[in-house]
Amino acid sequence: MIIFMGVAGSGKSLQGKLLADELGLPWLSTGEFLRMLISGERRREMLKGKLLADHEIIALVRKILAIIDSHEEFVLDGFPRTPAQADWLLNQVKHGQLKITVVLNLKATKDVIMDRLKQRGRPDDNVEAINERFKEYEGTILPILKQFKESGIKVIDIDGEKPLSEVHDEIAKAVASQH
């Protein structure tokens, strides 16, 4: 699997879809699935930038993985987002259930992210939620990336501020170098 990580607005979903389409791979976005499936109070909390419980997200990912051939390559966007989710994923890798080809970490500054998310215009793209996502990225995603590296997983930083086609070319080269 090819995992896209980075703060919201860094281009993970856009670049993940592009890569999946180019390579003819499934694109699995936990955010898209959550927006389709979550309702009520949990949805209101999600729209404020709050994360769902690890067991709920892991159960969702298990369901998603059950509908594809997880032994074939695929693109995963939006998972893991907590150390417990990363532990679960690394345990799956350790036991041969999943294989991580590469983790692509799209990086962008807070100013660029603010501009992008305000233009995107989703209900959860408000200043409060964006600030929460940056705290999440710095407090949990960066340690997860370190955990991946320490576990021998290849993590490649990608400059997500470059023009779309340049970012895509950098990603394509990074993925090709892992095959």
Q: Can you read off the two tokens belonging to residue 140?
A: 């949990």
pLDDT in tens, 6-54: 988 899 999 999 999 999 999 999 988 888 878 888 778 777 767 778 9
pLDDT over 90 percentage in the chain = 65
Inter-residue contact 17 to 78 (CB < 8 Å): no
Determine the Cα–Cα distance for residues 102 and 172; give it in Å rounded to an integer: 12
pTM of the predicted structure, to 2 decimals: 0.90
Q: Can you read off the two tokens belonging to residue 141?
A: 């995603």
Number of other residues whose CB lies within 10 A of the CB of residue 176 = 9
Give domain 2-176's CATH architecture. 3-Layer(aba) Sandwich (3.40)
